[in-house]
Amino acid sequence: MRTYWTLTRRELGAYFLSLTGYIIIAAALFLMGYSFVVILDKLQHGRTSIPVTELFYNTEFFWLILLPTTPLITMRLFAQEKFSGTFETLMTTPVKDLEVVLAKFTAALMFYTVMWLPLVGCMLVVRHYANDASILDAGVVGSTFLGVLLLGATFVALGCFASSLTRNQAVAAMISLVLGMSLFLLAFLADRFADGANWQAQVLACFTLFDQMHDFARGVVDTRAVVLYTSLSLFFLFLTLRVVESRRWK
Amino acid sequence: MNDGLMIEVANLTKRYAGHTAVSNISFTVGHGEIVGLLGPNGAGKSTTMRILACYLPATAGTVRVAGLDVFRRSDEVRRRIGYMPENNPLHLDLRVREYLMFRARLKGLNSENSRRRVETVMEQCGLTEVSRRIIGQLSKGYRQRVGLADALVHEPELIILDEPTIGLDPNQIRSVRQLIKGLASAHTVLISTHILPEAEMTCNRMVIMYEGKILAAGTPENLQRLMSHNSQIIAEIAAPPDELRECWTQMREIDQFDVSPCQGEYFRCALTPHDGLDLRAQVYELARKHGWGLRELTRSRHSLEDIYVQVTRPEEEEEEEEEEEEEEEA
């Protein structure tokens, strides 16, 4: 447990010791602010009964932030250490493979959460100027952040897996971007089958990330989505662990 | 069970896809020894060390450290080993003290012990004045010392250093060597190098590897003795050549001799003594007795360099060289 925290601290610190972390946060912040302006502009053209959070997730900005930033956050996790050789010094200390994988995942997820924090600020601005405290319901904000976190966990775990496959950060980023995009686009494939009641449609319907996030933003916590994201995260972490262990199989 | 042995390697083989890096080698290292793994690049030194450090699994054979199998009881083995890989990879974004603290914690020391040990090793490796500098901004010599400090921080029984002096300037090399020598009393050290004088200076014992096999092993003196049957004694003596020849024929210890004229009245005698004996005293005594002038008396020994070149040079290369020489002569 102690090694786990030591490693997590180191991994999280690494984001803030290099420029990458700041650039990612700056880019995310810019996109968040930009989408916020777009939402405010919409609100000026008339009243709406839709929660602010839902408005935000109905814009494509959420996905524009999530899809490219998670590969950028996760690409360095294993690839950089393998490239610079520090993976060797790491794995020759008495650490367990599981601790390494979990610590890297935790640090990346923490960084991802930090990246989304400015969103709270945007919401507070809306509340301040709307002169209406009820405009932001704690439950809705909570479920929105739960959704952001769960989806993030899935994509970060996927990125961990991609990063463990290679020693080249760019390749790691591309693999996780392609896998992430494919997962995301399943939602649109599911749309094509919307009427069909066959099993393919039912399976695909489980992967409509787009709609599920929409639910979270409306304050609906759907257990199916929670289970899906948790199990996908665990699945990718398991794969990562196997890749890290595979060094010992050869 | 471990008979006081720190490292036991038995019939170790490591195959990568397509080629064999290490083939069926066996050697042992006792407690407190400094042993050098010597060989040209690509001889399998790093692979052997990586297996010892539990980073790679062996294809066949057994490797034990302090009596523990490196594959089955990897955790316990890793606790006992301080390993510095080739090229000494470090986290360049951390400060020296931060890095060493991080490493100490990873190696299972609690925070108080970490602090204490980090201070000790920084002093030991001469890092105290750069403790707050960022590793990426340090010179190569300092980085190497950080790597060494990291290998030492948890007081391991066995220290494995893969080419610890590569890329350093002569002064830095000297200080790193000094450091390694200083470790001998408390730790067992295994270092690899392709520079022979380094091994000669720092190690009690050397294992010469080439193409995944062990070619020779032993103390530097033993390896030298092994080759010394070729040693010669050169003496330049001012005396009638016939008398000289007479004397050499009478000395039973001399297998072969050659007398050739030199400048002035001096003659150069090249003597090949039996069994590599050192005959310099006798030669001097002889010259004194006859009242001959003696202006040079040396014993040319095969240095380890020669042994190294002899055992590690590929045969084709030798042949090629010979061919080239022949061509040049023609």
Average pLDDT (B126-149) is 90
Chain B: residue nearest A84 by CA?
B89
Chain A: residue nearest B49 by CA?
A92
Q: 0.90 exceeded by the pTM?
A: no
* A250 with B79: Cβ contact below 8 A: no
Residues on chain B touching A96 (C-beta within 8 angstroms): 75
Query: Is the ipTM, as predicted for this complex, more than 0.90?
Result: no
CA distance A7 to chain B (A): 8
Describe chain B by its helix, strand, coil percentages, rounded to 5: 40, 30, 30
Domain match, B112 and B138 both: yes
Range of A208's domain? 2-246
- Decide if A2 touches B, using CB distance below 8 A: yes
Beta pairing class for B188-193 and B158-162: parallel
Average pLDDT (B129-134) is 92
The contacts of residue A166 (CB under 8 Å, 6+ apart) are: A79, A82, A172, A175
Residue B72: is its pLDDT beyond 80? yes
Query: What pLDDT score does A168 carry?
Result: 93
Query: How many Å apart are CA B106 and CA B38, to the nearest integer?
Result: 31
* B85 with A91: Cβ contact below 8 A: no
Residues on chain B touching A19 (C-beta within 8 angstroms): none
Query: How many Å apart are CA A99 and CA B312, to the nearest integer?
Result: 43
User: Closest by alpha carbon to B145, among B173, B119, B117, B170?
Assistant: B173
Instruction: Give me B289's structure tokens.
Output: 């007795």
- Average pLDDT across chain B, whole number: 83
Domain match, B151 and B289 both: no
Residues on chain B touching A94 (C-beta within 8 angstroms): 75-76, 78-79, 106-108
Q: Who among A2, A92, A250 is closest to B78 (CB)?
A: A92
CA distance B113 to chain A (A): 14
Domain match, B214 and B240 both: no
Domain match, B52 and B195 both: yes
* A88 with B54: Cβ contact below 8 A: no
Query: What pLDDT score does A230 carry?
Result: 94
Instruction: State the total domains in chain A.
Output: 1
Domain match, B214 and B276 both: no
- Decide if A167 touches B, using CB distance below 8 A: no
- Among residues B195, B218, B241, the one where a domain terminates is B218
Chain B: residue nearest A15 by CA?
B93
User: Closest by alpha carbon to B142, among B127, B164, B124?
Assistant: B127
CA distance A46 to chain B (A): 51
* B55 with A91: Cβ contact below 8 A: yes
**Which of the two residues, B303 and A109, has the higher pLDDT score?**
A109
Band of residue B84 on the pLDDT scale cut at 50, 70, 90 = very high
* B106 with A93: Cβ contact below 8 A: yes
Query: What pLDDT score does A236 carry?
Result: 96
| CATH number (domain holding residue B177) | 3.40.50.300
| CATH number (domain holding residue B281) | 3.30.70.3100
CA distance B193 to chain A (A): 19
Band of residue B315 on the pLDDT scale cut at 50, 70, 90 = low
Beta pairing class for B293-300 and B266-273: unpaired
- Write the pLDDT tens digit of every residue in B89-122: 999 999 999 999 999 999 989 989 999 999 999 9
* A2 with B85: Cβ contact below 8 A: no
Q: Who among A2, A92, A95 is closest to B53 (CB)?
A: A92
CB pairs under 8 A between A and B: 69
Are B53 and B225 a contacting pair, CB within 8 Å? no
Query: Three-class SS string for A54-95?
Result: HHHHHCCHHHHHHHHHHHHHHCHHHHHHHHHCHHHHHHCCCC
Query: How many Å apart are CA B173 and CA A167, to the nearest integer?
Result: 31
Are A58 and A43 a contacting pair, CB within 8 Å? no
- Helix, coil or strand: residue B291: coil
Residue B330: is its pLDDT beyond 60? no
- Among residues B191, B218, B245, the one where a domain terminates is B218
Query: How many Å apart are CA B151 and CA B162, to the nearest integer?
Result: 11
Domain match, B141 and B263 both: no
- Write the pLDDT tens digit of every residue in B183-217: 877 889 999 887 777 777 788 888 888 888 888 88
Query: How many Å apart are CA B292 and CA B286, to the nearest integer?
Result: 8
Tell me how far the alpha carbon of residue A28 is from its chain's centroid.
12
Describe chain A by its helix, strand, coil percentages, rounded to 5: 85, 0, 15
- Decide if A231 touches B, using CB distance below 8 A: no
Query: What pLDDT score does B1 carry?
Result: 43
Instruction: State the total domains in chain B.
Output: 2
Range of B43's domain? 5-218
Amino acid in position B295: R
Per-residue burial over A22-58, b if 16 or more Cβ lie within 10 Å, else e, is: eebbeebbebbeebbeebeeebeeeeeeebbbbbbbb
Amino acid in position A207: F
Band of residue B311 on the pLDDT scale cut at 50, 70, 90 = low
What is the mean pLDDT, run by run of 10 residues, along chain A of 250 residues? 90 90 91 82 72 68 86 93 92 92 95 89 78 72 87 94 94 94 82 67 75 80 88 95 85
Query: What pLDDT score does B117 carry?
Result: 93
Residues on chain B touching A2 (C-beta within 8 angstroms): 105, 108, 110
Domain match, B294 and B154 both: no
| B311 belongs to a structural domain | no
Query: How many Å apart are CA B145 and CA B89, to the nearest integer?
Result: 12
Residues from B contacting A (CB-CB < 8 Å) are: 16, 50, 53-57, 71, 75-76, 78-79, 81, 83-87, 89-94, 102-103, 105-108, 110, 150
| B166 belongs to a structural domain | yes
